[in-house]
Amino acid sequence: MKYVIAICLALMMTACARTTTSGISIDSSNQSVVIANPQLASKVGIEKADVTRQNGLLQAGVPVVSKVDGDIKLQYRFYWYDAKGLEVGGSESPWRQFILHGKDTMTIKAMAKKPEIANYRIYIREATSTW
């Protein structure tokens, strides 16, 4: 019985691991790239993130580069922060899906919803669902 419980727990933890933000992220404030998934990082790179203001709102631009010949199904999500580095409430964005074609570059763009937003972080991961 102990073995059955241990196997069930291991399977549940494996299932939960697939829903994390595990992938690649970049912080606009210091341009530091965090690689939580080395396998994805071998296929996809992030170039210097762009930060501009338009009508008082922060605009993000993040070039994502394919390092492989085939298409890659990916998802991204932005998190928005104020000047103190605190996440701004009500600025959550959903995971959005896109296809990055082989050896291509795509710039992901988004605009903040509130003027107090000063920085952002974007997470990119492999798509978890079929489309």
Q: What is the structure's pLDDT at 8?
A: 37
pLDDT for 90 equals 75
Residue whose tokens read 């338009």: 54
For 16, how many CA atoms within 13 A lie in the half-sphere containing its CB? Answer: 6
Nearest Cα to 97, choosing from 61, 65, 73, 72? 73
Tell me the CB-side half-sphere exposure of residue 126, using CA atoms within 13 A.
Answer: 15
Per-residue confidence (pLDDT) for residue 110, from 0 to 100: 96
pLDDT value for 29: 87
CA 112/CA 118 separation, integer angstroms? 9
- Domain residue ranges in the chain: 22-126
- What is the C-alpha to C-alpha distance for residues 110 and 80, in angstroms, rounded to an integer? 10
The C-alpha atoms of residue 22 and residue 77 are separated, in whole angstroms, by: 12
Q: Tell me which residues of the chain have a pLDDT lower than 70.
A: 1-21, 129-131
The CATH code of domain 22-126 reads 2.60.40.3230
- What's the pLDDT at 111? 95
Tokens 């580095």 -> residue: 85
Specify the pLDDT at position 21: 58
